[in-house]
Structures are given as structure tokens and as C-alpha cells.
Amino acid sequence: MSGIKKLAGQTLWYGVPTIVARFMGYLMNMALPFLFAQPAVTADITQVYAMIPFLNILFTYGMETAYFKFSQDKDKHQLFNTISIALFTTSLVFVALLYFNKESIARWANLEAHPEYILYMIGILLFDTLSTLPFAKLRQENRPRRYAFVRLIGILLNVSIVFLFLGFLPGYVSNHPESPLRLIQQLDIGIGWYLIGNLLGSILTFLLLVKELRGFEWNFDKDLFKEVMQYSYPLIIVGLGGMVNDVLSRLIYQHVVDLPEAEAKHELGIFANVYRLAVLITIFIQAFRMAAEPYFFNQSKEEGAQKGYARVMKFFVLACCFMFLLIGLNLDFLKWIITLKSAAWGEGIYIVPLLAMGNIFLGIYYNLSIWYKLTGKNLYGAYITLIGAVITILLNILLIPVLHYLGAAIATFACYLVMMILSYYWGQKYYPVPYAKKKLISYLVLVSLIVGLHRLILMAYSPLWFSLLTGLLLLAGFVYFVSKVEEKEWKKVRRQT
């Protein structure tokens, strides 16, 4: 099987749990308008889930990528032992720091009413970090099925808890007031069950990964760890900068928007919900990264590796374009679903295409970023993400007070566009890859025009059935066009099976 098809297959396997996780999470978020009348109720967990990615970068500090890098030429057993010990030790330190500062964190995040959310967050971070290296080991060993199985079990437990205690229990207790289950309902945990479900799912996931720790020895190689840290410390900056660009708008929204607290929470709840509608793009990017990172390292020593990377980029961009159209051409249908109970949840849906295209730029940047990981020039990755972070911070502060969540969407779009361009420019200088630049840009422009044309058509006539029909026709037209343009490429892939 060709490298491209192998990568596609592994992306699918890594994508299965990712798709299920996002889809289930999306279902849980879709349920929010039916469980809670106002978007403001969701603002608190939005804050928590905006903090977790930042803290996760500190907890893992680039060890996952370092494991892929050094497993190529170091003793894998010793490498696994050394990094595992480091992650375990630093996790305990970080947990202690967060625990003893939980009140301050709750005040800063406007979570004084729910300080227990901070404790749930700490637990999620701890067990997710302990699972990091076992998951990396599965990926490095090309065991995507085992990876998918463990991920799915944890996800199913998480989702089951949420729907049991928020979807089933309230109605059951209302109809059976004498049931002992009323004691659980009286705890009034509410939306906190989302975090509890996440925590229990993380614990179960770690327990299922204990098998991957067999053979672990408490044997720490200081010299190896110094070498690993020298490689990975710029990745901490890359990761933190990436998280600034990804979640800062939601993290600071209430602090910079010029609105009373209740209205700010309302808008934050809407923005967070609308942001999730770009879910197909982010699902694919995450799944692709799971498969691509070890693939790129493993292929780096092969002859013609750069041409292979260029082909991967083309298929990646085409897949993203297809999903962009799925989202952009079905906005009316998505809006109809989320507003079945309350029209408030559909506010701001017009920013979804902007967010989706911004996330495509991010995915292309991840694809391009292999140049500095392979050449050891990780500081360039840090420079790029720091520049992106500056753009994100400035534009969010300047635009959110004026344009509200449109301003946040513009900041996301601009940040990822600049990061993509910078990574391409420096990458071609230090590790040239023959990307089909003009063709890829043409595809991105074309799908943007198609979505714009669809919105113009709907300005004249906009029933839902007509929106779906015209969207389907435009999508089919794009697929036909690409099949003709890339006909030789498809034949080449089939021959390599």
C-alpha cells in the first residue's frame, strides 16, 4: 500500500474516536438549548474548557512530539521511561500549584459560584497528561485500532454520564418523586455534570492504558532528558501560542466586551456554540495530526520525502475544502437545528464560514510545520506562534468591543492566515517542499466563492428546502470539477494500492 493510502487509513482510524468525540460533544452541546433556556448558563464551562488547553500545554511541555523525534535513533525503552518519569513528577507539581491557588483562579475566571469546577479541571488535566505518553506509544507503533478503542470507551462513559444525569434523571425524578435518585438530583450539580463526565472518562481512559506501561522501569536518564528538553522547550512556546490563538477570544471575551455581565455571558455562550459549528474542519485536522506526525518523521529519511509531503498537502487541502463546503452550504440547516427551542442560539451563525476558513489555514500551518520539526529549528515555530499570538491579542482587544463575536472571528482568521504564510516562507528557505501552491490557493478561493454565491442566491429566495437543494448542487459541482482536474492523481493512487 502506498504511503499516502496508509496515511489516509491511519487518519481514518485516529479520526474515528475524534469524530465520535466531537460528534458526541456536539450532540451534548446541541442538547444545551433544550436543557437550559439561556446561552449564558453555558458561559462557566466555556471558561473552564478555554483554560484546559492552555494548562495541558504546560503539563505535557512538548514531550509527545519529542518522543516521536527521539524514538527514531534512541533506545525506545529508555526514552519511554525517562519521559514518563518526567511527566509524572511535573504533573504532581502542577497539580499542587493549581490546587493551592484554586480560589484565585476561580475569581479570575468568574467562577466564584462554582469553585468545584476548578477541582474537576485539575483532575482532567492530571489523568489526560498521564495518558499522553501511552497514547503516543500506540501512535508511534502504528496501532491506531487500539488507540481508537481506548479513546472511544472513555468518550462513551463521558457522554453516558452527561445524558444520564442531565437528560434522563430530571424527568425521571419529576415523575417518581419518591425514588432514591432524587438525592442525586437535589445535589443541584447542573451543567457541572459535563465536567464530571469528562473527569470520569479521563480516569477510565488512563486505566485502560495501564497495559501500555508494562515494562516501565524507574530509570531516569538525565543526559537524555536534557537532550529531549533542548528539542522540546520551543514547542512549549509553540503550544502556548497556539492555544492563545485558539481559545483566547473565549477566555477574555467577558473581560473586553463592553456589556453588563449577564449580556456578556449571553454572548459568550452564543459565540462558543457557533464556534463549534466548524467542527468538521477541526475534527479532520486533529485526526490528520494524529496520523501525520509519526508518518512525517518515519518518512523523513526516505528518498523523495518532500514530494510525498507535497502530495499529502494537496489531499489535505482538498479534504478541508470539501468539509468547508459541507459547513458553508448548510448554514441554514444548522441554524434550524440549534434554534428549535430558542432563536437566541442561532445568533452569530454568519461568522461560521470565516471561522471554518481560519481553521483550514491552521490545518495547512500544521502541515507546513513539519519543516522545523524535522530540521530541529523549533525556535522558528515559536516565533511564528508568538507573532500569531500578538495578532490574536491585539485584534481581540480592538475588535471585540466594537464587533463582538465577529471581531473575534476576524482575529482568528487573520492570525492563522499570517501563521500559514510565515511558515511557508521560512519552510521553503530551510526545507523546500514542492507544494502545488497556485492550485491549492485556487481551490481555497473557489470554495469561498461558492459559499458566497450560495448566500447571494438565498437573498432572493430562501426556503430551507431550496437552501439544501442548491447547496447540494453546488457541492456536487465542486466534486465533479476536482475529479476532472485531479484525474491523473486519482489514477496514480489506485495504481499504488
Express each pLDDT in 322-364 by its tens digit.
Answer: 989 999 999 998 888 777 666 776 788 889 999 999 989 988 9
Q: Work out the pLDDT band at 1, boundaries 50, 70, 90.
A: very low
Q: What average pLDDT does range 58-87 have in this prediction?
A: 86
pLDDT digits (tens, 9 = 90+) for 266-310: 787 788 777 777 766 776 676 666 556 556 666 666 666 788 788
Residue range 370-381: mean pLDDT, rounded = 81
15 — pLDDT class (breaks 50, 70, 90): low
Are 218 and 363 spatial neighbours (Cβ–Cβ below 8 Å)?
no
Which of 318, 280, 310, 285 minimizes the C-alpha distance to 443? 318
pLDDT of res. 455:
94
CA distance 332 to 7: 34
- Work out the angle between the directed axes of helices 261-275 and 405-430 (0-180°, nearest 10): 50
The whole-number pLDDT of residue 312 equals: 82
Question: Above 80 in pLDDT, residue 220?
Answer: yes
What pLDDT is recorded for position 37?
Answer: 46
Instruction: Read off the pLDDT band of 411 (50, 70, 90).
Output: very high
Q: How many residues does the chain have?
A: 497
CA proximity to 148, closest of 137, 138, 158, 133: 138
pLDDT above 60: residue 16: no
Long-range contacts for 1-9 (Cβ within 8 Å, ≥24 apart)? 1/496, 1/497, 2/493, 2/496, 2/497, 3/295, 3/299, 3/308, 4/308, 4/311, 4/312, 4/315, 4/493, 4/496, 5/493, 5/496, 5/497, 6/295, 7/291, 7/292, 7/295, 7/312, 8/315
Q: Is the pLDDT of residue 172 over 50?
A: yes
Name the most confidently modeled range: 55-59, 120-124, 254-258, 426-430.
120-124
- What is the Cα–Cα distance from 33 to 344, expressed in whole angstroms? 9
**Given this model, what pLDDT does residue 17 score?**
57
Q: What is the pLDDT of residue 267?
A: 81
Query: Does the pLDDT of residue 423 top 60, yes or no?
Result: yes
Mean of pLDDT over the chain? 82
Which is higher by pLDDT, 336 or 191? 336
Residue 259 near residue 403 (C-beta atoms within 8 A): no
Contact (Cβ atoms closer than 8 angstroms) between residue 290 and residue 14: yes
Mean pLDDT highest for which of 22-36, 39-53, 373-387?
A: 373-387
User: At residue 401, does pLDDT exceed 50?
Assistant: yes
For residues 237 and 75, is the Cβ–Cβ distance under 8 A?
no
Lowest mean pLDDT across 28-32, 169-173, 299-303: 28-32
- Give exposure, 393-426, as e/b (b: 16+ Cβ within 10 Å): bebbeebbeeebbbbbbbbbbbbbbbbbebbbeb
pLDDT exceeds cutoff 60 at 158: yes
pLDDT above 90: residue 441? yes
Q: What is the rounded distance in angstroms from the CA atom of residue 409 to the CA atom of residue 354?
A: 6
Q: Is the pTM of this model over 0.85?
A: no
Residue 301: predicted pLDDT: 66
The pLDDT tens digits for 463-493 are 999 999 999 999 999 999 999 888 877 777 6
What integer pLDDT is reported at residue 51 of this predicted model? 85
